[in-house]
Every structure is written in structure tokens, then in C-alpha cells.
Amino acid sequence: MQEIKPIGDLRQCIKQLKRDNKTIGFVPTMGNLHSGHLSLIDKAHELCDVVISSIFVNPLQFGENEDLDAYPRTLNDDLKFLKQHHCDVVFIPDSATIIGTRNTTLVSVPNIGEGLEADVREGHLDGVATIVTKLFNLVQPDIACFGKKDYQQWLMIKKMVLDLNLDIQIIGCQTLRENDGLAMSSRNQYLDETQRKIAPEFYQVLLKCAQAIQPHNPLLALENAKNELLKKGFSIDYVELRQQHTLAPTNSIDNAVIVATVRLGSTRLLDNLELN
Ligand code: PAF
């Protein structure tokens, strides 16, 4: 696996790959990799000749009150896992070269990039859209894989690619779960022992909600789910019914998705459930 830090070296590498007519699959990450990330690498391999990943903890997507420095950095383990999954190239830029100052041009995606996460984490989705645009420009992939756990992020990037006429196919990959149903996430390691035991209840409540949901009054099941989550000790950022493709609020269960974010202590857990 080739490890690349300077942008100039990455440009050379991409030029060569394009000259060789290789298709490029891309998996951007912030490191601290788990099986969910690695399943994206595997997917990219299925679809492309060459797989490129990036590891960059993006300051633009952290708010003033969020601890960027505390974000877990596990580069040695990450590189080991990427090698095991036959990643061909990993791009590890430093902040100064890829972002410059915080006073950078920003990419902002209307509608899908508004509400939900954008309401709770001001500037977060613009930070994601901006860094992903920069990485897409540098890597010039044919496809890029994103986990559907971050449902709004995935849809926002799909819209961004369409709006900016980028010739990149965005692949949404199923959420990987622990045996007890908890969606895999780098944040799970912040849970203490008691919280870790409660955390799988989040997905169980969403499943129960999806089963109980009535077409004539879907919001009742959502209200019940919220009450149940509160009883179990979660605090709630949002539990909402939205349209699968647009994320517009909806009262219909057709092509809907339940998107939810809760907290256990200070740890945020994201999950969602598509109703088909
Ligand atoms: O999902 C993530 O890990 C990040 O938001 C991403 C897409 C790598 C951008 O920094």
C-alpha cells in the first residue's frame, strides 16, 4: 500500500492511474477505522481496479464546542487494517496543506444539507461537504463509498455531486452492526460499561417503531419511540420521519426513513431505518 502525504505526490499518482485507464474507488475517512469502514473498502474493491482511502480529521466539521483534539487518532492500526483489506493507496494530508486557514471557501448543500444534523451541529455538514469536495477534486474517483449510518451525509454528498456536475458515482453502503444491533461507530468507544449495555436498545426501539407504525398515523409510533428512549435513559436530538431521497418531512410511510440521533451522557449515537 502506497502512503501519500504531499498533495503533489497524490496528483502524480492519480495522473499515472488515469494514464493506465484504471478505475478508482475512493473511501474518505477520519481514521479510527472499524469494520464498518473496512466494508466500504471491500465494496470499492468489488467495483474498481484501484482503491484509495484518505485519513484526515477534518477541523471544518467540528464546532467550536466540540473537541477536535480529543478525536481518537490511531494511525498505525488504521494503516494495518487498510493493508489487510488490500487498499492500494492511502492519502494522509496535513491540515495546513489541504485546508489552509479556517477562512476557506465553503461548499454548502441546500435542503438536504439543512435541518437534522445541521441544526444540532452548526457548520458540521458544510465542513463535510467542503472537505469531500476537496478530496474528490484531488482523487478524481469513479466511485466513492459512504456508510448509510450517516444518512444525511450520504444523501447530501449525492446531491452535491449532482449539483456540481462531478462525474462520480456515490455508493451508499449498509450500516454494519455489532452482534447486539448497535450501529458500528468510532463514538461507541466513548460509552462506559453501563451505557454500552443500554446503547443497543436504540436500534431495538427503532425496529419496534417500524413494526408498530400505522399508515394513517405514523407519527404516533414515533412519539411512543421517543418516550421509550427517554425512559431507557437516552436524551433525544431528533427522531423523525423523512422521505428517503429528499429527507423532506413526511406524514406518509411510503419510501420513508426514520432518522434518529440520541445521546447517552455526552456520546451521540446516530441510526436510521428505511421503511420499505
Ligand atoms: O464520515 C466521515 O468519516 C467524515 O464525515 C468524512 C466523510 C470522512 C469527511 O470528513
Please report, to the nearest 10 degrees, the dihedral formed by the alpha carbons of residues 58, 183, 37, 60 taken in order.
Answer: -10
- For range 59-87, the mean pLDDT: 94
- For range 221-227, the mean pLDDT: 98
pLDDT score at 64: 86
- Reported confidence tier of residue 102, pLDDT bands at 50, 70, 90: low
- For range 67-96, the mean pLDDT: 96
The protein residue with its alpha carbon nearest to ligand 1, atom 9, reads 128
pLDDT score at 213: 96
Higher pLDDT, 113 or 224: 224
Question: Is 11 buried (19+), middle (13-18) or exposed (0-12) by CB count in 10 A?
Answer: middle
- For range 148-152, the mean pLDDT: 98
The protein residue with its alpha carbon nearest to ligand 1, atom 1, reads 29
- For range 163-176, the mean pLDDT: 98
Indicate whether residue 131 lines ligand 1 (CB < 6 A): yes
SS3 at position 138: helix
User: Residue 65 above 90 pLDDT?
Assistant: no
Identify whether the C-beta of residue 188 lies closer than 8 Å to the C-beta of residue 199: yes
How far apart are alpha carbons 124 and 237 in whole angstroms? 15
Question: For residue 214, how many other CB atoms are within 10 A of its CB?
Answer: 10
220 contacts: CB under 8 Å, gap ≥ 6: 214
Which atom of ligand 1 sits closest to the CA of residue 150? 1
Could you tell me the three cell numbers for 2? 502506497
- Reported confidence tier of residue 226, pLDDT bands at 50, 70, 90: very high
Residue matched to cell numbers 406524514:
251
Instruction: Express as a percent the part of the chain with pLDDT over 70.
Output: 100
How far apart are alpha carbons 175 and 153 in whole angstroms? 13
- Reported confidence tier of residue 276, pLDDT bands at 50, 70, 90: confident
CA of 22 to the centre of ligand 1 (A): 25
pLDDT score at 100: 85
- Reported confidence tier of residue 142, pLDDT bands at 50, 70, 90: very high
CA of 160 to the centre of ligand 1 (A): 15
Indicate whether residue 107 lines ligand 1 (CB < 6 A): no
Which residues belong to the active site?
37
Indicate whether residue 30 lines ligand 1 (CB < 6 A): yes
The protein residue with its alpha carbon nearest to ligand 1, atom 8, reads 29
pLDDT score at 103: 82
Least confident of 20-29, 96-105, 190-199: 96-105
Mutate-to-test residue for ligand 1 from 27, 30, 109, 138, highest number of ligand atoms within 8 A of CB: 30
- For range 192-212, the mean pLDDT: 98
- For range 180-190, the mean pLDDT: 96
DSSP 113: G
Indicate whether residue 29 lines ligand 1 (CB < 6 A): yes
pTM of the model: 0.97
- For range 56-61, the mean pLDDT: 96
CA of 253 to the centre of ligand 1 (A): 29
- For range 14-28, the mean pLDDT: 98
CA of 223 to the centre of ligand 1 (A): 31
- Reported confidence tier of residue 104, pLDDT bands at 50, 70, 90: confident
